Amino acid sequence: MGGQFGLLIETILDDGVLTIILNDPGRRNAMGDGMRGELLAALEQASADISVRAVVLRGAGGTFCSGGDLAAMPPTNLATARNRLAHVASVVRTIRNSPTPTFAVVEGAAAGLGASLALACDYLYMADDARLLFPFSRLGLLPDGGILHSLAARIGVHRARQLLLEGRSVNAEECLDLGLADYRYPPDRVMKEAADNARALSSAAPRSVAGIKSALAGGLPSLEDAFRAEHAGQPACYFSDDFAEGKRAFSRRELPHFSGS
């Protein structure tokens, strides 16, 4: 899985890390129907490909994503509007439910739906001059792309409500302070740092990674939900080749080499 994926999405697979590039820089990678469809297909293929151990999402041309395609709004009718929202939800669910770690690398702006995509990932890296924009209230729209959940999950309901009501831009420094971003680097380093972490996590045990992500995909689990997740996944882990490899490497103080079996 590598090279040009479609007209608006490019994918590059290197050493277990799949980089997905939103590739419409002339329109600041606005998320129209075509790009949305290609992104969903690329994400679904990545989730089904055992050679993919981590996914990095970034935008071409120094911009992550300028959000939904305003030129294509409003949709032709209510049914089309509902279908579009369902398609957006499918993209975000696929990111959130990915069995592998996901990394957003935000350069320039991640606005509206672009911010929703970035916040759906497990890790959010920002360039020093990048920003997240939440313009929904200034456009007369509701926040979409699951951002009502993902924003509040990162910074709490009170702060999330304030940011969405104010509809303002948040720079990288404030994003890091608030907990919206996980890491902040100079523009010429941010992609390398994210890729290095993605490669490091790509060597983790696939069953463990997938189980942890599945258990936490919906947010904070109850104690009983946590027990159910353990009971569903742990017995198979006990008898997996990866656990045997982990025990062997741990006892010898070596790095394990996990196969996912």
Question: Of 201, 228, 243, which residue constitutes the final position of a domain?
Answer: 201
Q: Residue 192 and residue 202: Cα distance in Å, rounded?
A: 15
For residues 180 and 220, membership in a common domain is answered with no
Quick one: angle between helices 78-96 and 113-120, nearest 10? 30
pLDDT of residue 258: 87
Shared-domain flag, residues 135 and 248: no
In a shared domain, residues 165 and 243: no
Do 39 and 164 fall into the same domain?
yes
108 and 223, same domain (yes or no): no
Q: Does residue 261 lie within any of the structural domains?
A: no
Is residue 257, in this structure, part of any structural domain at all? no
Residue 13 pLDDT: 95
Residue 259 within a domain: no
pLDDT tens for each residue of 102-134? 999 999 999 999 999 999 999 999 999 999 999
Same domain, 211 and 180: no
pLDDT at 157: 95
Asked if the structure places residue 57 within a domain, the reply is yes
* CA-wise closest residue to 160 among 119, 189, 127, 125: 119
- Specify if 238 maps to a domain: yes
Q: What is the total residue count of the chain?
A: 261
Q: Are residues 109 and 197 in the same domain?
A: yes
Which among 57, 75, 45, 173 has a CA at the least distance from the CA of 115? 57
Do 10 and 138 sit in the same domain of this protein? yes
The pTM of the full predicted model, rounded to 2 decimals, is 0.92
Query: Do 224 and 185 share a structural domain?
Result: no
Residue 260 lies in a domain: no
Give yes or no: residues 86 and 190 share one domain.
Answer: yes
- Structure confidence at residue 57 (pLDDT): 98
- On whether residue 258 sits in a domain, the answer given is no
Are 128 and 194 in a shared domain? yes
100 and 226 fall within a common domain = no
Q: What is the pLDDT of residue 2?
A: 54
134, part of any domain: yes
Counting the structural domains of the chain, the total is: 2
Q: What's the pLDDT score for residue 71?
A: 81
- For the chain, list residues with pLDDT below 50: none
**What is the longest distance spanned by two Cα atoms in the chain?**
64
Residue at a domain's end among 201, 220, 235:
201
Structural domain boundaries enclosing 212:
206-252
Q: What's residue 255's pLDDT?
A: 85
CATH number of domain containing 155: 3.90.226.10
